[in-house]
Amino acid sequence: MSPMGTDETYRRIYATVRAIPRGRVATYGQIADLAGMPRRARLVGRALQVLEDDQPVPWHRVLRAGGRIAFTRGTSQYREQRARLSEEGVVFDGDRIDLARYGWSDALDRILWGPPGERER
- What's the CATH number where 113 sits? 1.10.10.10
Residue 83, pLDDT above cutoff 70: yes
Domain that holds residue 83: 7-120
In a domain, 89, yes or no: yes
State how far the Cα of 29 lies from the Cα of 41, in Å rounded to an integer. 4
pLDDT tens-digit series, residues 107-120: 555 545 555 554 44
In a domain, 84, yes or no: yes
In a domain, 1, yes or no: no
Residue 13, pLDDT above cutoff 70: yes
In a domain, 37, yes or no: yes
pLDDT score, position 33: 94
In a domain, 24, yes or no: yes
State how far the Cα of 81 lies from the Cα of 64, in Å rounded to an integer. 13
pLDDT tens-digit series, residues 14-41: 999 999 999 999 999 999 999 999 999 9
Residues in a beta bridge with 97: 92
Crossing angle, helix 7-18 and helix 41-49, to 10 degrees?
90
Q: How many domains does the chain have?
A: 1
In a domain, 64, yes or no: yes
In a domain, 14, yes or no: yes
In a domain, 2, yes or no: no
